Amino acid sequence: MRRGWKMALSGGLRCCRRVLSWVPVLVIVLVVLWSYYAYVFELCLVTVLSPAEKVIYLILYHAIFVFFAWTYWKSIFTLPQQPNQKFHLSYTDKERYENEERPEVQKQMLVDMAKKLPVYTRTGSGAVRFCDRCHLIKPDRCHHCSVCAMCVLKMDHHCPWVNNCIGFSNYKFFLQFLAYSVLYCLYIATTVFSYFIKYWRGELPSVRSKFHVLFLLFVACMFFVSLVILFSYHCWLVSRNKTTLEAFCTPVFTSGPEKNGFNLGFIKNIQQVFGDNKKFWLIPVGSSPGDGHSFPLRSKNESQNPLLANEEPWEDNEDDNRDYPEGSSSLAVETET
């Protein structure tokens, strides 16, 4: 009976946590909806008098708004990608690993299993990176998110403002969302500013629209400053081909720590996120190269390049290349196993 109450309480807390995790998203959505009303109705339709100016403002605003909303949607609802079956321990290997009491033997078992995988990063002590919660050998750049309770390929961070883990599957969308957010705030601020001055000087009548216009400029400027800082930081990360986690903790390879281990040069680093086809760079569609399980290394490590060195073993097991079902900041750093 007591155990049943504990399980019910635990389930209730998990449910509350899931509901509360959507609060930041709800806040953003409400602010955006209000900004839409304030700009379209109170500014363009009520305050702006010139018909030509109204049309131009509304066309440009909606063009930016569509991409802003589209990228935000993709950032929220594109599920984080998990390691496929190949990296999970088989039932037999899992039993052997859990029944083995000697740590050195367990480490050797993982080393033997990792030889068949394109894995070139290690823990700080040089051991194979293993998640004892998901029971898998972590691919390079993969980390366990304690919020999502799953291992995420090329994990960058868990963002509460999109209630999602940002990683290989949606990092491009997240960057685009930041870019269009900056553009959205900048456009609102620049077009509203002249009317803010007119209201300030008393050149326009003090009506209800005045308060919407004044507050719209304030909110746009406030968000613009914070978003520019965040977007600039992620642009720097992309230019170095780093994730947020790798910026805080230097990756360790089989040859030792290397902070620029994935740095391929400015252009190639951008292509690692946005792809080779430039016509898809501004559109929120998947174009990142690869499958998120292996990544090219610097030229000095070509002998350890996961796209070359382990090509045959990787292709021999294509029948196992399937994903486990999905489990369950803004720089919120995940807790790694």
Q: State CA 35 to chain mean position distance.
A: 25
The pLDDT tens digits of the residues spanning 158-216 come to 999 999 999 999 999 999 999 999 999 999 999 999 999 988 888 888 678 889 999 99
The pLDDT tens digits of the residues spanning 101-133 come to 899 999 999 999 999 999 999 999 999 999 999
Dihedral sign from CA coordinates of 278, 281, 283, 289: positive
* pLDDT for residue 321: 35
20-25 average pLDDT score: 95
* pLDDT for residue 84: 95
DSSP one-letter code for 280: G
* pLDDT for residue 226: 96
* pLDDT for residue 17: 85
pTM score, whole prediction: 0.85
The percentage of residues in the chain with a pLDDT greater than 90, rounded to a whole number, is 77
* Nearest in space to 185 (alpha carbons), one of 233, 229, 217: 217
- Three-state DSSP state, 159: strand
Which helix (H) or strand (E) is 252 found in, with range?
strand 252-253
The 3-state secondary structure of 108-150, one letter per residue = HHHHHHHCCCCCCEECCCCCECEECCCCEECCCCCEEECCCCE
* pLDDT for residue 15: 84
* pLDDT for residue 270: 97
241-247 average pLDDT score: 96
Q: Cα-flanking dihedrals φ and ψ of residue 72, to 5°?
A: -65, -40
* pLDDT for residue 64: 98
* pLDDT for residue 179: 98
Instruction: Give catalytic residues, as residue numbers.
Output: 159
The pLDDT tens digits of the residues spanning 290-330 come to 999 999 998 444 444 444 444 343 333 333 333 333 333 44
CA pair distance 123, 286, nearest whole angstrom: 30
* pLDDT for residue 298: 84
The pLDDT tens digits of the residues spanning 254-279 come to 889 999 999 999 999 999 999 999 99
The percentage of residues in the chain with a pLDDT greater than 70, rounded to a whole number, is 85
Any idea which of 51-60, 91-100, 179-188 has the lowest mean pLDDT? 91-100
Residues written for the chain: 337
